[in-house]
Structure 1
Amino acid sequence: MGTDTGISVPELSAVQYSTVYNLFSLVIASMIFTALYLLFSRGRVAPRYRNALVVSAIVCGIAAYHYIRIFDNFQASYPAGATIADPHLLSNVEFNEGYRYVDWLLTVPLLLIETVAVMALAKSEARKLLWKLVPASAAMIALGYPGEITSEVGPRLLWGTLSTIPFIYLLWVLFVELTRSIDRQPPQVQHTIKMLRLALVGLWGVYPIAYLFPVIGGDFFGGSDGFVLRQAGYSIADILAKAAYGLAIYKIARVKSSLEDPAYDDDHAVPGPGDGTAARPTPGRDTVAA
C-alpha cells in the first residue's frame, strides 16, 4: 500500500476524516462559484482583459472537477460507518494523490497564461514570456509526479530534486524578466501585480513542503497526522493560488479597464443593453443607472 511514506495511511480517526472531508468540500465550492463569478463578470472589463478572466475561470473549473474526483476517491478509500471510537479504515482502494498532478499539469501553466494576459503586453513580448514559463511549469509538475506516487524515500527525493530545477528557473523568469514588464504597467496596478507575483511564488512553496512530509516522517509529519496536514496544505494552497488569485486578476483587469476607458469606471458608466457589459457614459449623466 505504500503507507510508509504516507501515500495512504491505514486508518483515520473520525476527526481526521471529517477535517479532510470538509476541506475537499470547501475547495469544490470555492472553485465552482469563483469560476461562475468570473464568467459572469466578463462584461465589466475591457475586451482585451476578458481572456484573462476566462482562463481564470477555466483554472477554477479544472480544479473543481479534479477535487470532485479526489473527494470520491477519498470516500472510497476510507468508507463511512466509523464512530468516534472506531476509525475509518483504509479499504482496498488506494488514495490516489496523482489526481492533483493531473490538475496541476493543466492549471499551473494556465495560471501563468492568465498573469501574462492581464498585463496586456505586446504579442511578441507575451509570446516570449510564455515560451519560457509554460514549458518550465509543465516540466516541474511532470518531474514531481513519479516522486509523489512512489513508496520509497530515495526516488521521492530524486524526483523532487529534479522538479526543483524548473521551479528555480520559473522563479528567475518571474522575478527578473517579468519585472521589466511590470514596470511598464500603470502605477495604480504595479503594486498589486508585484504582490500577486510574490503570492504565487509563496503559495507554490507550500507544495514542496507538503511533498516532503512523508520523508520527514515522525509522529506529526508522518502517519495519519501527516496525511491530514498534507491534504490541508494542498487544499488551502489551491484555494489561494486559483480562486483567490483569479479574483485578484479580476481586480487588476477592472482597474486597468477603468483607467483606459471611462465606460468601465463604476463612477461614470451606465449598464450596457441587455448583456451586462459596460456602455460609454451617456451625455449629461455621471451616475450609475439603478
Structure 2
Amino acid sequence: MIPESLTQGQFDTVYNFLSLVIASQLFTALFLLICLPRILPRYRQAITVAIVVCGIAAYHYLRIFDSFKDAFVTDAVGGDGIYTQAAGASFNEGYRYVDWLLTVPLLLVELIAVLALARALQSKLLWRLVPAAVLMIALGYPGEISDDNMVRGIFFGLSMIPFLYILYVLFVQLTASLDLQPAGVRRSLSNLRWLLLGSWAVYPIAYLLPMLNVSGADAWVGMQIGYSVADITAKAVYALIIYRVARIKSFAEDPAFAEREMSHGAFARETV
C-alpha cells in the first residue's frame, strides 16, 4: 500500500533511485546505439532489441518519476519536512506493469537472438517464452491492485505458473543449445540466466509483502529501491552482457572483423 506520508529522507531516497534508473537506462541505450557497428550484422538484432528495452524502461521511469513528484508534496520551506499525498493525485504503480508487459518478453527475445540458432529452433523457443512472459505479467497485475490478500494470493499463484515454465525452458530446454556456443559465450549466457533469476526474484518478494503484513513507509520505500535495482540489473546490466556475448561471437566467427576491431586499440580489447 502507498503510504500517506514520507519523511524528507524517504522522499529523497525514492527520488534519487528513480533518477538513477532513468540515467542507467538512457545511457546504456546510447552506448549500445553507438557500439552497434562494432558487432557483426547477424547479432545486431539482439542489441537493437536491448536498445528498445532500455528506451522503454527509461520512458516509463520518467512517467513513474513524474507520478511520484506529483503524488507527494510538502509545505516546508527549503525541502525539509514531511511529504504527504497530494489531494487528487496518487502514485501510479501501473506504469511498472505496462513497462514489464513490454520489456520482459523482449528480454527473452534478446537472449534467443544473440544465440543465433537455427530459425526453426529459435521460433520454437520464442513461441514458448514470449507468451509465457506476457501471461506472467498480465496475471500479476490484478493482484497488485487488489487490497484483498486472498485475491492477491490467487493471482500470485497463477502468475507463478508461467514464471516457473520460463525457468524450465531457460535452465532445461535451452541447455542443449548453449552447448553449441563457444566456451566464453557459454559462461556468459549461463551467468545471464542466473542474473535474470536473481533480479526477477525481487518482484515476487515485493508482491508478497502486503500478504505478510509488511507495510508502512519504510517497507514501501524499500520496495521502490528493490524494483529500481532489479530493473537496472535485468535491463541495463543484462544488455551489456548481451553486447559482450555478441562481441565474443563476432570475433570468433570473423577473424578479419576481429583484426579490424583490435586495431582500434585497448578499448576494443577490453570490451571483448
Give the TM bin, normalised by the shorter chain. over 0.9
Name the one with the larger helix percent.
2
Q: Which amino acid is the alignment partner of residue 96 of structure 1?
A: N
Where does structure 1 lack aligned partners over 5 or more consecutive residues?
1-5, 271-285
Aligned equivalent of 1:234, options 204, 227, 247 = 227
Q: Using the TM superposition, give the Cα deviation of residue 289 of structure 1 relative to its aligned residue in structure 2, in angstroms.
A: 7.6
The residue aligned with 2:19 is: 25
Question: Does 2:145 correspond to 1:149?
Answer: yes
Q: Using the TM superposition, give the Cα deviation of residue 80 of structure 1 relative to its aligned residue in structure 2, in angstroms.
A: 4.5
Q: 2: CA distance between counterparts of 1:58 and 1:80?
A: 36
Whether the 8 Å CA contact 2:3–2:216 is kept in 1: the answer is yes
Aligned equivalent of 2:212, options 188, 213, 216 = 216
Q: Using the TM superposition, give the Cα deviation of residue 82 of structure 1 relative to its aligned residue in structure 2, in angstroms.
A: 3.9
The residue aligned with 1:118 is: 114
The residue aligned with 1:52 is: 46
Q: 2: CA distance between counterparts of 1:48 and 1:79?
A: 50
Aligned equivalent of 2:260, options 266, 269, 273 = 269
- For residues 163-188 of structure 1, the C-alpha deviation after alignment (integer angstroms, 9 at most, x for no partner) is 01110111111111111111111122
Q: Using the TM superposition, give the Cα deviation of residue 153 of structure 1 relative to its aligned residue in structure 2, in angstroms.
A: 1.3
Whether the 8 Å CA contact 2:74–2:82 is kept in 1: the answer is no
Q: Using the TM superposition, give the Cα deviation of residue 264 of structure 1 relative to its aligned residue in structure 2, in angstroms.
A: 3.3
Q: Which has the larger radius of gyration?
A: 1
SS at match of 1:89: strand
Q: How many residues align?
A: 264
Q: Could you state the TM-score of these two structures normalised by the residue count of structure 2?
A: 0.93
Whether the 8 Å CA contact 2:74–2:81 is kept in 1: the answer is no
Q: Using the TM superposition, give the Cα deviation of residue 287 of structure 1 relative to its aligned residue in structure 2, in angstroms.
A: 3.9
- For residues 137-174 of structure 1, the C-alpha deviation after alignment (integer angstroms, 9 at most, x for no partner) is 00000000011111221111111111011101111111
The residue aligned with 1:95 is: 91
Q: 2: CA distance between counterparts of 1:26 and 1:198?
A: 23
- For residues 204-227 of structure 1, the C-alpha deviation after alignment (integer angstroms, 9 at most, x for no partner) is 11110011112222xxx3110111
SS at match of 1:269: helix
Question: Does 2:176 correspond to 1:185?
Answer: no
The residue aligned with 1:206 is: 202
- For residues 64-87 of structure 1, the C-alpha deviation after alignment (integer angstroms, 9 at most, x for no partner) is 000000000001110254477631
Q: 1: CA distance between counterparts of 2:113 and 2:74?
A: 44
Where does structure 2 lack aligned partners over 5 or more consecutive residues?
267-272
Identity of aligned residues (%): 53
